[in-house]
Structure 1
Amino acid sequence: MSWWLRMLLVVAVALIPGAFVLLLAYVATRTMRHRWQQARLEAQSLGTQVSFREVVAQVEFKDLVRQARAAL
Protein backbone atom coordinates (compact mmCIF):
# COMPACT_ATOMS: atom_id res chain seq x y z
CA MET A 1 0.00 0.00 0.00
CA SER A 2 1.41 3.38 -0.92
CA TRP A 3 2.17 6.00 1.70
CA TRP A 4 -0.53 8.39 0.51
CA LEU A 5 -3.21 5.71 0.80
CA ARG A 6 -2.05 4.93 4.34
CA MET A 7 -2.23 8.62 5.23
CA LEU A 8 -5.72 8.80 3.72
CA LEU A 9 -6.83 5.90 5.93
CA VAL A 10 -5.33 7.55 9.02
CA VAL A 11 -7.06 10.85 8.27
CA ALA A 12 -10.36 9.11 7.50
CA VAL A 13 -10.27 7.19 10.78
CA ALA A 14 -9.44 10.36 12.70
CA LEU A 15 -12.00 12.67 11.08
CA ILE A 16 -14.94 10.70 9.72
CA PRO A 17 -17.45 9.27 12.18
CA GLY A 18 -17.75 5.55 11.63
CA ALA A 19 -14.45 5.28 9.77
CA PHE A 20 -13.03 3.11 12.54
CA VAL A 21 -15.64 0.50 11.71
CA LEU A 22 -14.59 0.71 8.06
CA LEU A 23 -10.97 0.21 9.09
CA LEU A 24 -11.93 -2.85 11.13
CA ALA A 25 -13.86 -4.24 8.18
CA TYR A 26 -10.87 -3.67 5.90
CA VAL A 27 -8.50 -5.40 8.30
CA ALA A 28 -10.86 -8.33 8.85
CA THR A 29 -11.36 -8.75 5.10
CA ARG A 30 -7.63 -8.60 4.45
CA THR A 31 -6.94 -11.17 7.18
CA MET A 32 -9.66 -13.53 6.00
CA ARG A 33 -8.52 -13.31 2.38
CA HIS A 34 -4.94 -14.09 3.38
CA ARG A 35 -6.02 -17.01 5.58
CA TRP A 36 -8.33 -18.35 2.86
CA GLN A 37 -5.51 -18.33 0.31
CA GLN A 38 -3.19 -20.13 2.73
CA ALA A 39 -5.82 -22.74 3.53
CA ARG A 40 -6.56 -23.32 -0.17
CA LEU A 41 -2.89 -23.85 -0.97
CA GLU A 42 -2.48 -26.23 1.95
CA ALA A 43 -5.62 -28.15 1.00
CA GLN A 44 -4.46 -28.47 -2.60
CA SER A 45 -1.11 -29.86 -1.51
CA LEU A 46 -2.84 -32.41 0.75
CA GLY A 47 -5.60 -33.17 -1.75
CA THR A 48 -8.42 -32.24 0.64
CA GLN A 49 -11.22 -29.67 0.74
CA VAL A 50 -11.26 -26.54 2.88
CA SER A 51 -14.37 -24.82 4.23
CA PHE A 52 -14.92 -21.19 5.14
CA ARG A 53 -15.98 -22.29 8.61
CA GLU A 54 -12.59 -23.91 9.25
CA VAL A 55 -10.80 -20.75 8.16
CA VAL A 56 -12.92 -18.50 10.39
CA ALA A 57 -12.37 -20.83 13.35
CA GLN A 58 -8.60 -20.43 13.05
CA VAL A 59 -8.47 -16.61 12.95
CA GLU A 60 -7.35 -15.08 16.24
CA PHE A 61 -7.46 -11.52 17.53
CA LYS A 62 -3.67 -11.25 17.40
CA ASP A 63 -3.83 -11.95 13.66
CA LEU A 64 -6.22 -9.02 13.21
CA VAL A 65 -3.91 -6.76 15.23
CA ARG A 66 -0.91 -7.85 13.17
CA GLN A 67 -2.77 -7.11 9.92
CA ALA A 68 -3.91 -3.71 11.24
CA ARG A 69 -0.30 -2.78 11.97
CA ALA A 70 0.71 -3.94 8.51
CA ALA A 71 -2.07 -1.91 6.92
CA LEU A 72 -1.00 1.30 8.63
Structure 2
Amino acid sequence: MSWWVRMMLVVAVALIPGAFVLLLAYVSTRTMWERWQQAQLQAEKNGTQVSFRDVLATLELKDLVRQARAAL
Protein backbone atom coordinates (compact mmCIF):
# COMPACT_ATOMS: atom_id res chain seq x y z
CA MET A 1 0.00 0.00 0.00
CA SER A 2 1.13 3.50 -0.65
CA TRP A 3 1.64 6.00 2.15
CA TRP A 4 -1.49 8.01 1.34
CA VAL A 5 -3.72 4.91 1.56
CA ARG A 6 -2.22 4.13 4.96
CA MET A 7 -2.82 7.69 6.09
CA MET A 8 -6.45 7.49 4.95
CA LEU A 9 -6.91 4.30 6.96
CA VAL A 10 -5.35 5.88 10.04
CA VAL A 11 -7.63 8.92 9.72
CA ALA A 12 -10.70 6.72 9.23
CA VAL A 13 -9.89 4.61 12.29
CA ALA A 14 -9.23 7.72 14.37
CA LEU A 15 -12.37 9.59 13.33
CA ILE A 16 -15.07 6.95 13.16
CA PRO A 17 -15.18 6.00 16.87
CA GLY A 18 -15.20 9.68 17.85
CA ALA A 19 -17.92 10.45 15.36
CA PHE A 20 -20.08 7.65 16.72
CA VAL A 21 -19.79 8.97 20.27
CA LEU A 22 -20.66 12.48 19.13
CA LEU A 23 -23.66 11.23 17.18
CA LEU A 24 -24.87 9.23 20.17
CA ALA A 25 -24.49 12.24 22.46
CA TYR A 26 -26.34 14.49 20.01
CA VAL A 27 -29.23 12.06 19.57
CA SER A 28 -29.54 11.43 23.30
CA THR A 29 -29.50 15.13 24.11
CA ARG A 30 -32.04 15.93 21.41
CA THR A 31 -34.38 13.18 22.57
CA MET A 32 -34.08 14.11 26.23
CA TRP A 33 -34.71 17.78 25.45
CA GLU A 34 -37.92 16.96 23.54
CA ARG A 35 -39.09 14.61 26.31
CA TRP A 36 -38.31 17.26 28.94
CA GLN A 37 -40.39 19.85 27.11
CA GLN A 38 -43.31 17.43 26.72
CA ALA A 39 -43.10 16.51 30.40
CA GLN A 40 -43.07 20.18 31.42
CA LEU A 41 -46.21 20.84 29.38
CA GLN A 42 -47.97 17.84 30.92
CA ALA A 43 -46.90 18.93 34.39
CA GLU A 44 -48.31 22.40 33.83
CA LYS A 45 -51.64 20.94 32.67
CA ASN A 46 -51.88 18.57 35.62
CA GLY A 47 -50.44 20.94 38.19
CA THR A 48 -47.66 18.53 39.17
CA GLN A 49 -43.90 18.63 39.09
CA VAL A 50 -41.65 16.62 36.83
CA SER A 51 -38.12 15.40 37.51
CA PHE A 52 -35.27 14.36 35.27
CA ARG A 53 -35.66 10.83 36.61
CA ASP A 54 -39.28 10.69 35.43
CA VAL A 55 -38.28 11.79 31.95
CA LEU A 56 -35.38 9.33 31.83
CA ALA A 57 -37.70 6.50 32.88
CA THR A 58 -39.90 7.03 29.81
CA LEU A 59 -37.00 6.92 27.35
CA GLU A 60 -36.78 3.83 25.16
CA LEU A 61 -34.17 2.61 22.71
CA LYS A 62 -36.61 2.81 19.81
CA ASP A 63 -36.96 6.54 20.50
CA LEU A 64 -33.20 6.99 20.23
CA VAL A 65 -33.13 5.02 16.97
CA ARG A 66 -35.98 7.12 15.57
CA GLN A 67 -34.17 10.33 16.49
CA ALA A 68 -30.93 9.05 14.95
CA ARG A 69 -32.72 8.37 11.68
CA ALA A 70 -34.28 11.83 11.78
CA ALA A 71 -30.89 13.43 12.46
CA LEU A 72 -29.28 11.77 9.45
TM-score normalized by the length of structure 1: 0.77
Q: Which residue of 1 aligns with 2:63?
A: 63
**Number of equivalent positions:** 58
Percent of counterpart pairs with the same letter?
A: 72
- Residue correspondence of structure 1 range 13-24 to structure 2 within 5 A: 15=12, 16-17=15-16, 18-24=18-24
Please say which structure displays the higher CA radius of gyration.
2
Q: Which residue of 2 aligns with 1:35?
A: 35
Q: Counterparts of 1:55 and 1:46 in 2: how far apart (Å)?
A: 16
Q: Counterparts of 1:46 and 1:38 in 2: how far apart (Å)?
A: 12
Displacement over 6 Å in runs of 4+: none
Where in structure 2 are there 5+ consecutive unaligned residues?
1-11
Q: Amino acid of the residue matched to residue 59 of structure 1?
A: L
